[in-house]
Structure 1
Amino acid sequence: MRKKVLAVVLGAAMVASMSSMVMAADAEETVTPNEEYSFEVVVKSYQSSYWQAAVKGIQDEADAIGVKVNCTGPNSESDIADQVNMLNNAISQNPDGIGLAACDQDSVLDSLTKAKEAGIPVVCFDSGVPNAPEGSVYSTIATDNYGAGAVAAENLYPAVKDKIKEMVDAGTVVQVGEVNQDCTAESTSNRGLGFIDKFIELATADGYTVAVTGNEFFVNNCSDAGDESSANIVIQTAVPSQTTVELCATEASKLLNVENMVAIFGSNQVAAEGILTANQNLSVLGSDPETKILAAGFDAGSTIKAAVKDGTMFGAVTQSPLAMGKNTVDILTKIANGEEVEDLPTQGYWYNVDNMEDDSIAPNLYD
């Protein structure tokens, strides 16, 4: 039986910082259901190992705490109408709650209204629904993209720190690159800004001056664009005209050919693969900062994982679908218990050749 919800706290519970491995949002917590609850969860698809990892997190947590969960999802993320039908069918089951990773933010609005009218709480995960009818979505579980970008800088900067000092002491201006597939999507733009701002923070703490050049969005929205004419370090940002690996590779090639480039960041899978594609003709990437440019990527996928494993890419940040699945079940259970809930940012994991096989990392390295 569904319990009446006592209170719902809406709004993002953002965290101040993100470690390279674990954020507080993903700390272990014991959730106990008051009754034998039954939930419906609709994922974006079963096509990729990312969503398979999310479903594993859902099923493992459901088994662990003793609730019932039925997971469905379309064949691919482009099957929007199929997902809406699955969501409507989930509502017709009158569950104690619904977990939803919407393929399209606007397509589910009518369904969310139906869920609200039926008194069924909805928890969104991976992607939010910004225009959801008021009171229909009780919590959104998604990656803190700004923090995830910062994780890349937290791990990349120390690796090139000695090289930067060597170059600056010799009077050389250090170059750092960043490729973003676009500057309009919340995820990639915030990751890009997170990387830039953290790199600036770390470099400034060591006494360097930093300037940001290139794409106007990142120049205008970073913490401090600085003055290129007097900077010790210049972060060059690039965004292609369209979001393809090939065009990201074109932008990456320009950056990798810049003299005194020491590091480069790709803010999502497409951008990271673009950097790797560009390197096929240049062979300038590697793990030794004295002789190579160090690259940090984002997300996983077979191309990125292989590059990290063989040392071509220094490391990458992956999202945590396993944790998103677990947290979805936990929050649905809390709502059913009548507990207060809020939005939950989930962690990004830094992985490299040394830890990518670890039990805490490997399940999140989807293909």
Structure 2
Amino acid sequence: MKKKQIALTLAVCMIAGLAGGCQKGTADTKEESPSAKSTTKQEYQFKIIVQSYQSTYWQAAIQGINKASEELGIKVVCTGPNSESDIADQVNMLNNAINSKPDGIAIAPCDQNSVHESLQTALDRKVPVVCFDSGVESAPNGAVYCTIASDNYASGELAAENLYAGLKDRIAAAPGPVRIGEVNQESTSESISSRGLGFIDKFSELAIADGKKIAVIGNDYFVKNCNVDGVPESEADIIFEVAVPSQTTVELCATESSNLLNKSDLIAIFGSNQVAAEGILTANSNLSVLGNDPDHTVVAVGFDAGTTIKAAVRDGLLYGAITQSPVEMGEKTVETLYQIAEGEEVKDITTDCYWYDADNMDDAEIAPNLYD
């Protein structure tokens, strides 16, 4: 199978005065400029709010945050809720951060719709805000200076391209309809929803080009927002079934995964982040249906890394996975906050992501992104 890779080139934040950048970190008057304070570099204080401390993905991002803050000699306070499901807790953390009037805030929102009011407050109080990992597409105009993230939709597409290449012959030879499962830990953050939609849309596009009819069922958000011109389930050659647990835990993702893995027509399953992928592996520990033979086993594709996922890819329980660059994302987030405080213009930064499997996971370009 031809392995595909995207290395979405980092857009470098440009110096002040360059036309075409995103929201400026300075304004026309001293009163409005975050960098016009008498604050020295050593006195800058930034607040950064991650989605949770539940997964090693966020611990890796925090490593990058700490590394950049030490190199720049600035103070960064990093917080986050216990779980991505604790949306209200994260909003309270954001409001507390705004009230403390730091030199800048970065947030990876658990729910992009929950932070609108807080972002408006930050804008009114002239507190710069940067989003990372997940953006807020409908944020108040000017409230978010820039977003630092993988291209999550393209990441989902990358997973679909590699999976479809392996399953194409099996789908073509199938005597009846086949089912593709997808487990998303939630449907509220931009990162998870975009990955899930990108996966469905690209896989469907490739299958439709080969003459197949698609049905998308399950979670209402993904059914309504995918770009698939689907058919009723009874008429489909390929049935996408999308599951979202009531809370973002490995255990509940495992329950949803078990429901899918127990279906006799299931040939593949995708977990769109670390928690979902680990949930699939947990479910398989009782069912033993996963493998890396696309013609005879259920093949699974994961997202992110961590010890469990890396071992599963190396051992062939996972067909492959997508990795992001969480350490780099954390570094770029701190660097961007610093540039805003210094009065520089900033713009969106797209960080790298890669497909990896047992054949390429030790490659020099990929291995450093496979955190434990």
Q: TM-score, normalised by structure 1?
A: 0.73
Q: 1:175 to 1:140 in 2, by over 3 A?
A: same
CA distance in 2, matches of 1:352, 1:53: 20
Decide whether the 8 Å contact of 1:309 with 1:353 is kept in 2. Answer: yes
The aligned counterpart of 2:217 is 213
**1:309 Cα deviation after fit:** 1.9
1:357 to 352, 357, 362: 362
Q: 1:30 to 1:235 in 2, by over 3 A?
A: closer
The aligned counterpart of 2:23 is none
Alignment of 1:204-243 (within 5 A): 204-224=208-228, 225-243=230-248
1:327 to 321, 325, 332: 332
Question: More deviation in 44-53 or 145-154?
Answer: 44-53
Counterpart AA for 1:200? S
Decide whether the 8 Å contact of 2:119 with 2:144 is kept in 1. Answer: no
**1:313 Cα deviation after fit:** 0.9
Decide whether the 8 Å contact of 1:84 with 1:108 is kept in 2. Answer: no
Alignment of 1:65-144 (within 5 A): 67-74=72-79, 77=82, 91=102, 99-101=106-108, 117=125, 121-128=128-135, 135-144=142-151
CA distance in 1, matches of 2:164, 2:309: 20
Q: 1:246 to 1:329 in 2, by over 3 A?
A: closer
Decide whether the 8 Å contact of 1:266 with 1:296 is kept in 2. Answer: yes
1:259 to 264, 268, 277: 264
Unaligned runs of 5+ in 2: 18-34, 84-88
Question: Which digits, 9 at most, give the CA deviation of each residue in 1:133-171, with x for residues without a partner?
Answer: 76453112234332222221122111112222232xxx3
1:166 to 160, 173, 181: 173
CA distance in 1, matches of 2:294, 2:232: 26
* Partner SS for 1:73: strand
The aligned counterpart of 1:190 is 194
**1:31 Cα deviation after fit:** 6.3
CA distance in 2, matches of 1:232, 1:103: 35
1:153 to 157, 160, 166: 160
CA distance in 2, matches of 1:111, 1:199: 36
Q: 1:189 to 1:52 in 2, by over 3 A?
A: closer
Decide whether the 8 Å contact of 2:69 with 2:75 is kept in 1. Answer: no
Identity %: 53
Q: 1:309 to 1:339 in 2, by over 3 A?
A: same
CA distance in 2, matches of 1:99, 1:238: 30
CA distance in 2, matches of 1:293, 1:109: 44
The aligned counterpart of 1:343 is 348
Counterpart AA for 1:164? I
* Partner SS for 2:159: helix
Q: Does 1:180 align with 2:180?
A: no
Decide whether the 8 Å contact of 2:133 with 2:191 is kept in 1. Answer: no
Q: Does 1:289 align with 2:294?
A: yes
The aligned counterpart of 2:32 is none
**1:236 Cα deviation after fit:** 2.1
Q: 1:90 to 1:347 in 2, by over 3 A?
A: farther
Q: 1:114 to 1:86 in 2, by over 3 A?
A: closer
Counterpart AA for 2:244? V
Q: Does 1:307 align with 2:292?
A: no
Question: Which digits, 9 at most, give the CA deviation of each residue in 1:198-240, with x for residues without a partner?
Answer: 1001112233222222333322222122243333222222334
Q: TM-score, normalised by structure 2?
A: 0.72
Decide whether the 8 Å contact of 1:284 with 1:293 is kept in 2. Answer: yes
Question: Which digits, 9 at most, give the CA deviation of each residue in 1:65-96, with x for residues without a partner?
Answer: x85443332486578678876776682xxx5x
The aligned counterpart of 2:6 is 21
Question: Which digits, 9 at most, give the CA deviation of each residue in 1:257-280, with x for residues without a partner?
Answer: 323322111122332222212211
The aligned counterpart of 2:28 is none
CA distance in 1, matches of 2:211, 2:110: 45
Question: Which digits, 9 at most, give the CA deviation of each residue in 1:20-54, with x for residues without a partner?
Answer: 33113x26x58679999665443447956434533
**1:294 Cα deviation after fit:** 0.8
Q: 1:302 to 1:108 in 2, by over 3 A?
A: farther
* Partner SS for 1:265: strand
